[in-house]
A and B are shown apart, each in its own frame.
Chain A
Amino acid sequence: MQFVDNFLTTLYKTVLAENRWRFYLEGIGNTLMMTVGASLIGIVLGILIAMIKTHHNNSGKMRFLNWLCNVYTTVIRGTPVLVQLLIIYYMIFSSASSSAAPYIAALAFGLNSGAYVSETIRGGIQSVDKGQTEAGRSLGLNQSQTMRLIVLPQAVKNILPALFNEMIMLLKETSVAGWIQVVDITRAGDIVRSRMWSFSPLLVSAVIYLVLVVALTSVQRMIERRLAASDRS
C-alpha cells in the first residue's frame, strides 16, 4: 500500500499540483504542431528533390538544380539537427519574435526531414519497375503524367513504412526544441523538474511520447490496410 501511496503522491506532484499539467498540455500541442508542420514541409521538399534527382538521372537535364539538391542533402544530413535549429533560430531568423519560435522550429525540423525523405522517396521511385514507366509512355502519357499517375502512387505504397518511420523519428527529434525556449513535451518536463527537483517528470514525458508514437503507428496500420484493399492476394 505504501508503494501505491508513494506512486500516487509523486504522480500528483508531477502532473496535477500547481496546474503542472498545463505545461504538458502546451508541450503536447507544440510537439504535435512541430511534427505535423515539419512532416508536411519534409514530404513536399522530399518529393520535389526526389523528382529533380530522378529526372536528372533519367534525362541528364536540370544539372544546376540537381547540384543544389545534392548540396542541400549533404549539408543537412552531415550536421546534427540541434545545431541546425540553433543556427536557424539565432542566426538566420535572428529578428523573429520569440512567439514565432515554435514555427521556426517546425521549419527547421521540416528542412531537416526533407533531406531524409527525399532519399526515401527516390528509393521508392526507383523501386517501381521500369516497365511501368515504359507502359505509361507507350499509352501516350507524357513524362510528368506517367510520374504522377503511375509511378508515384506505386512508390508511395512502397515507402509508406519508411515515411512513418521518419515521422516517428521527427516526433522525437522535436524534443530539442526546448533549446530555443519552445515548450514541447520534453521542455515541459524540464520546467516541472526545475520546480519539484525530482526526475519523475521525465517519465511523464516519456509516457506521453510513447502514447503519441503508438497512436501514429495505428494510423499507419489503418492506411496500409486501406491501400491493401485492392491488392490481389
Chain B
Amino acid sequence: MRRISLFIALACMCSMALTGCGSSGSASSSLPTSSVADAQAGSADDMPDTPPVEVSSPESAGKLIMATEAGFKPYEYYEGTDIVGVDVDIAREIAKEMNMELVVEHMEFSAIIPAVDSGKADFGAAGMSITEERAQQVDFTVEYATSKQVILTKADSDIQTADDLSGKTVGVQLGTVADLALSEPEDFPGVKLELYNKYFEAVNDLLSGRIDAIVLDSLPAQELSKVNESLAIRDEEIFTDVYAFCVKKGNTELLDSINTVMQRLMDEGKIAEFTTNHLEE
C-alpha cells in the first residue's frame, strides 16, 4: 500500500512539474553572463560609445537580456572574456534605442528558445534560422541575414554534394537547422548524425576522421576553414535559410522595438558593415 501511495504522489509531482513548465523558473539559473557594456572598447571601434545608462524599465529592471551560443563566428563568439559578433552589435543598437543595458548570456544553442520562452532572457539572437516549429514557440523579428548551409569536410574527401553524404557520418550542432534537416531520413537517407554541443569538437573529430563532414552555416564554416587549412567547403548549398531574433510569444512591444531598429540598420547598410568587420578580424 505504501508503495502505491508513494507512486501516486510521485506521479502527481511530475504532472504538476510537466504542465507548469515554461511558466516557472525551471531553467538553470547559473548561466555565465557577460555585460557587454563593460566590453565595448575592444570590440566595436567603429561605433559610437554607449555609456551604461541607468533607466528603470518594466523589462528586467533596465537590463535587456540576450540569449546566445557564442561559438558561431562571425555572429557571436568570444573575444577574450567578452561575447562579440554581428548579433551583439545589432543587439547593442537595440539596447541603445531602448535606453537599456545589454546583457549577453551564453548557453547551449538548444537552450535559447526555452530561455526566451520562460522569460529568463528577453530575446534570443544566435544566428537563428526561422523555422515553422520554432515559430510555434517564439515570435520572430524581421529577417536580417540570409544563410547558406554548406558541407565542411577535409580537402581530400570525396564528398562533394549532399547526395554523397549518404552512408557517411555527419556532424551537426544539436538543435540547429542543419540538425533538424538532416534528422529527416526521407531527405537525407543513410546519413549517420553525430550531435555536438560545440563546433570546435566537431572539427576535432572531422580532423581525426571520426566524422566525414560537418553541415553548418557558410560564414562560420569559412571561419573554421580559415583556421584549419586541411578543411574545405564544398560549393553546393544544401539549403538556404534566413536569420532573425526571437522574442517570447506575444511580446509585441519588444518585437516592434527590435523590428524598428533592425529595419533601420538594414536600410543604413549597417548589418553588412558589422558582418564585414567581424569577418576581417
- Contact present for B194 and A195 (CB under 8 Å): no
Provided the pairs A98-B169, A181-B194 are in contact, do residues A194 and B179 lie with their beta carbons within 8 angstroms? yes
Q: Is A200 an interface residue (CB 8 A)?
A: yes
Closest to B3 in A: A214
B196: chain A residues within 8 A (beta carbon): 181
Which of A4-12, A51-59, A112-120, A147-155 sits within the interface?
A4-12
5 pairs of residues in contact across A and B, judged by CB atoms under 8 Å: A98-B169, A195-B180, A197-B137, A199-B114, A207-B14
Which of B78-86, B158-166, B206-214, B262-270 sits within the interface?
B206-214
Residue from A11, A181, A190, A193 having most chain B Cβ neighbours under 10 A: A181
Provided the pairs A90-B204, A181-B195 are in contact, do residues A11 and B110 lie with their beta carbons within 8 angstroms? no
Q: Is B174 an interface residue (CB 8 A)?
A: yes
Give the shortest distance, in Å, between B225 (CB) and chain A (any CB): 21
Having A191-B195, A194-B174, A197-B110, one finds 13 other A-B pairs with CB under 8 Å, namely: A7-B15, A14-B18, A94-B208, A95-B209, A193-B111, A193-B114, A195-B133, A197-B134, A198-B22, A199-B21, A199-B114, A200-B21, A207-B14
B18: chain A residues within 8 A (beta carbon): 6-7, 10-11, 14, 200, 203
Give the shortest distance, in Å, between B139 (CB) and chain A (any CB): 13
- Contact present for A194 and B110 (CB under 8 Å): yes
Contacting residues of chain A (84-125) with chain B, CB-CB under 8 angstroms:
90, 94-98
The interface residues of chain A, by DSSP majority, are classed as helix
A-facing mask of B51-70, CB < 8 A → 1, else 0?
00000000000000000000
A96: chain B residues within 8 A (beta carbon): 210
B205: chain A residues within 8 A (beta carbon): 98
A194: chain B residues within 8 A (beta carbon): 109-110, 174-175, 179
B-facing mask of A179-209, CB < 8 A → 1, else 0?
1010000010011011101111011000100
Taking a contact as CB atoms closer than 8 A, the residue among B117, B201, B204 that contacts A197 in the complex is: B117
State A194–B17 Cα separation when bound (angstroms).
Answer: 19
Which interface class (under 10, 10 to 19, 20 to 34, 35 or more) fits A? 20 to 34
Q: Is A64 an interface residue (CB 8 A)?
A: no
Contacting residues of chain B (141-158) with chain A, CB-CB under 8 angstroms:
none
Could you count the A-B residue pairs with CB atoms below 8 Å apart for me: how many are there? Answer: 75
Q: Is B27 an interface residue (CB 8 A)?
A: yes
**Closest CB pairs A-B (n = 7):** A194-B175, A194-B110, A197-B113, A6-B19, A7-B15, A98-B210, A197-B137
Give the shortest distance, in Å, between A24 (CB) and chain B (any CB): 15
Q: Which residues of A contact B (CB under 8 A)?
A: 3-4, 6-7, 10-11, 14, 90, 94-98, 179, 181, 187, 190-191, 193-195, 197-200, 202-203, 207, 210
Closest to B208 in A: A94
Taking a contact as CB atoms closer than 8 A, the residue among B21, B134, B208 that contacts A10 in the complex is: B21
Q: Is B197 an interface residue (CB 8 A)?
A: yes
Q: Which residues of B contact A (CB under 8 A)?
A: 10, 14-15, 17-19, 21-22, 26-27, 109-111, 113-114, 117-118, 133-134, 137-138, 169, 174-175, 179-180, 194-197, 201, 204-205, 208-211
A10: chain B residues within 8 A (beta carbon): 18-19, 21
A190: chain B residues within 8 A (beta carbon): 110, 174
- Contact present for B208 and A95 (CB under 8 Å): yes
B110: chain A residues within 8 A (beta carbon): 190, 193-194, 197
State A213–B119 Cα separation when bound (angstroms).
Answer: 34
B14: chain A residues within 8 A (beta carbon): 203, 207
B174: chain A residues within 8 A (beta carbon): 190-191, 194
A11: chain B residues within 8 A (beta carbon): 18
B114: chain A residues within 8 A (beta carbon): 193, 197-199
State A204–B211 Cα separation when bound (angstroms).
Answer: 30
Provided the pairs A7-B15, A193-B114 are in contact, do residues A198 and B21 lie with their beta carbons within 8 angstroms? yes
Closest to B210 in A: A98
Give the shortest distance, in Å, between B220 (CB) and chain A (any CB): 18
Give the shortest distance, in Å, between A73 (CB) and chain B (any CB): 29
State A181–B197 Cα separation when bound (angstroms).
Answer: 9
Residue from A11, A197, A202, A210 having most chain B Cβ neighbours under 10 A: A197
Closest to A8 in B: B15
A191: chain B residues within 8 A (beta carbon): 174, 195
State A190–B114 Cα separation when bound (angstroms).
Answer: 12
- Contact present for A199 and B195 (CB under 8 Å): no
State A202–B110 Cα separation when bound (angstroms).
Answer: 13
- Contact present for A98 and B211 (CB under 8 Å): yes
State A200–B22 Cα separation when bound (angstroms).
Answer: 9
Provided the pairs A190-B110, A194-B110, A197-B113 are in contact, do residues A3 and B180 lie with their beta carbons within 8 angstroms? no
Closest to B196 in A: A181
State A6–B19 Cα separation when bound (angstroms).
Answer: 6
- Contact present for A203 and B175 (CB under 8 Å): no
